[in-house]
Amino acid sequence: EAGVAQSPRYKIIEKRQSVAFWCNPISGHATLYWYQQILGQGPKLLIQFQNNGVVDDSQLPKDRFSAERLKGVDSTLKIQPAKLEDSAVYLCASSQGGAAGHTIYFGEGSWLTVV
The candidate with the shortest Cα–Cα distance to 96, out of 35, 50, 46, 48, is 50
The residues that bridge with 45 in the sheet, in sequence order, are: 35
Per-residue mark of binding to another protein, 3-22 (x: CB under 8 A): -x------------------
Quick one: CA torsion of 6, 66, 51, 33, rounded to 10 degrees?
A: 50
Per-residue mark of binding to another protein, 59-98 (x: CB under 8 A): --------------------------------x-x-x-xx
Segment 32-61, which members bind another protein (CB under 8 A)? 35, 40-45, 48, 50, 55-56
By the rule CB under 8 A, 108 interacts with another protein: yes
